[in-house]
Structure 1
Amino acid sequence: MSPIDTQPTQLQRIRLNPFERVVALTAGASLIGAVGGGYLGGQLAGRQYLAERAHRLPKTADGWFFYQKWKNYRVTYGGFKGAVRYASRIGGCVLAFATIEAMVDRAVGEAQALSSAIAGVTTALGVSLLVKLPRSSAKRAGLAGLAVGLTNGLIQDGLRCAQQPTPPSYISWLSKQTSQRSKTEM
Structure 2
Amino acid sequence: MATAQLDSDSAQSPNDAITSESSTARPLATLSPERLGMPFDRRLLLATFTSFSCGSMLGYLNTSRLASLRFRAENAHRLPISQPGWYLYHKSKNYYKLKHGITAGLRSGVFLAAWTSIFFVVEESLDVFRGTWRAGRTIGEMEGVSELDIDKVNTGVEKSRDFLSSVVAGMVTGGLWSAWNKFPVLTAARTIRMGLFAGLGYGVAQDALTWARGKTGGVVNDAESWIYRGAKNRRQADDNSTELEQKEQEKQE
Q: Give 3-state SS (helix, strand or coil) of 1:164's partner.
A: helix
Higher relative contact order (CA 8 A, sep 6+): 2
Q: Select the residue among 184, 191, 196 that pairs with 1:134.
A: 184
The aligned counterpart of 2:42 is 20
1:44, 1:8 → 2: CA distance? 51
Establish whether residue 148 from structure 1 lines up as the match of residue 170 from structure 2: no
Q: Deviations over 1:71-129 (max 9, x none)?
A: 01001112202211220121111111011111111111231111101110000110111
CA contact (8 A) 1:41 1:81 kept: no
Distance 1:7 1:152, change over 3 A: farther
1:133, 1:85 → 2: CA distance? 22
Shift in Å, 1:7: 9.6
2:112, 2:119 → 1: CA distance? 11
Q: Deviations over 1:122-173 (max 9, x none)?
A: 00110111111121111000000001101111111121122237x9xxxxxx
Q: Give 3-state SS (helix, strand or coil) of 2:183's partner.
A: coil
Establish whether residue 64 from structure 1 lines up as the match of residue 86 from structure 2: yes
Moved over 6 A (4+): none
The aligned counterpart of 1:38 is 60
Establish whether residue 9 from structure 1 lines up as the match of residue 32 from structure 2: yes
Structure 2, unpaired ranges of 5+:
1-28, 132-156, 220-253
How many percent of aligned residue pairs carry the same amino acid? 29
Structure 1, unpaired ranges of 5+:
1-5, 168-186
Q: Which has the larger radius of gyration?
A: 2
User: What is the alpha-carbon root mean square deviation over aligned residues?
Assistant: 1.9
Shift in Å, 1:22: 1.1
**Count of aligned pairs between the two proteins:** 160
The letter for the 1-side match of 2:213 is Q
Establish whether residue 84 from structure 1 lines up as the match of residue 134 from structure 2: no
2:162, 2:189 → 1: CA distance? 24
Establish whether residue 114 from structure 1 lines up as the match of residue 164 from structure 2: yes
1:132, 1:27 → 2: CA distance? 28
